Structure formats: C-alpha cells, structure tokens
Amino acid sequence: HPETEIVFINSSSNAGNRITDVHEGLYGETDLRFTDQLPLDEIDVLFFCTAHGDTKKFMESHNIPEDLKIIDLSMDYRIKSDDHDFIYGLPELNRRATCTAKHVANPGCFATCIQLGLLPLAKNLMLTDDISVNAITGSTGAGVKPGATSHFSWRNNNISVYKAFEHQHVPEIKQSLQQLQNSFDSDIDFIPYRGDFPRGIFATLVVKTKVALEEIVRMYEEYYAKDS
C-alpha cells in the first residue's frame, strides 16, 4: 500500500531468512528479512498472521502500547464478547466502525465470500428459512505447510468435502446476518469443498424467496452501490 511502510516481519521459524526465501513472488519488491524481534514502539499498526489461538495468547502475555492498532487475521476475536473490543472488519458490514477501530478482527475467507452473497437479503429481512451453501476453495487456503490433502498429486483433478455442516466460519456468518436481521435464527447448511485450483472461492447460496428476480437485483445493487 502506498501509504504504509513495513518496519519488520516477525517469525520465530524463519528468523534471519529473506522474505523472498519464503515468498518467492516478492523477488525485486523487498530486501527485508524475517526477525525474531518485536520493536512494538516503532510501529503504528501490528498485523497478526498467526495460527488460531496465538493472537489471544500474545495479547494476554505482552505489554501492548496503548496507541498501537492491531489487525488480527486469525479467528480469535471475530465473535463479539464483553472480553474484548475488536471490531469485525468486514467493510461491507462495518465500514465506519472499522475505519475508527483500534482493534480489528479480519473475517474468515469462506465467511467473507458467503456473507457478501447474503448481506443484502438480511438487510431486507428476507432470510426466513434455512440457507444451503456449497463452496469450493483453492489450495492456498490451507497455508504453506504441506499436508495430506494439499499436495498437487492429490488436489489435481480432484474435489473433496471437508468439515461438512461444522465449519468454524458458520458462527461469524450468523453473527453478521443477525446484526442486519435480528430475527434470523435459521440453519446454514454449509458444505465446503477442496478444489484443484490454487486461489479463490466459488460459492453457491440457495435461499427460498417469493420475491421477483428483478427486485432482488435491485436490492444487491442498492446495498453495494457505495462499493462500486
């Protein structure tokens, strides 16, 4: 981003290595190296790109400068609680609150995709029945560490279901829908798939409604007009 300067990138496992040793696509863009140091007093914003649970542990065990802004990419603070002040950072839902927040919890990948398809309906109080979701994700969503289901020879020309009806992103999706439609209390029947492509998510959402297609299109255009 042209208005930001990366001061340091902390990594306990890659300390001393060049950023480009891990992220080869950044060759020519940076000479930075990973560090195991945390000079928090030298920065304005701290991003957490850590495993789920690690951000909360860090926050509880370190003295965080009072004016330091935090953006967390894990799921530690996505669900509202009296125990923290993190704002759920989906701009299409909480734009103003996110712009002024001190602490922001980034939405999950599936959660972002699915919510963008449902928020206009929730805004118009149209979610009155169960919702069916089928979504297929690319392999990079599993991270860089090789696993049994992330190798090319396994993913190529293949598709598989995982965490059917119990994916961890469902609670944050429901939370957002209830923010716009207090009465929403239906099930979200979510089937996630692993796809044979590297990046992106394709989602199909099935919602029951008697409203004409033209009216639904108008709702979406109106809701997302400020994002065009």
Q: Where are the chain's structural domains?
A: 9-105, 109-227
Contact 133, 220 (CB under 8 A): no
Q: Residues of the chain with pLDDT > 70: what percent? A: 99
Which CATH fold topology does 9-105 show? Rossmann fold (3.40.50)
Q: Rounded CA gap, 70 and 77, in Å?
A: 11
Fold of 109-227: Dihydrodipicolinate Reductase; domain 2 (3.30.360)
Which DSSP letter does residue 164 get? T
Catalytic residue among 49, 99, 109, 113: 109
pLDDT tier at 86, thresholds 50, 70, 90: very high
The pLDDT score that the predictor gives to residue 142 is 72
Topology alike, domains 9-105 and 109-227? no
Return the amino acid letter for 54: D
The whole-number pLDDT of residue 150 equals 75
Active site residue 113: no
pLDDT digits (tens, 9 = 90+) for 22-46: 989 999 999 999 999 999 999 999 9
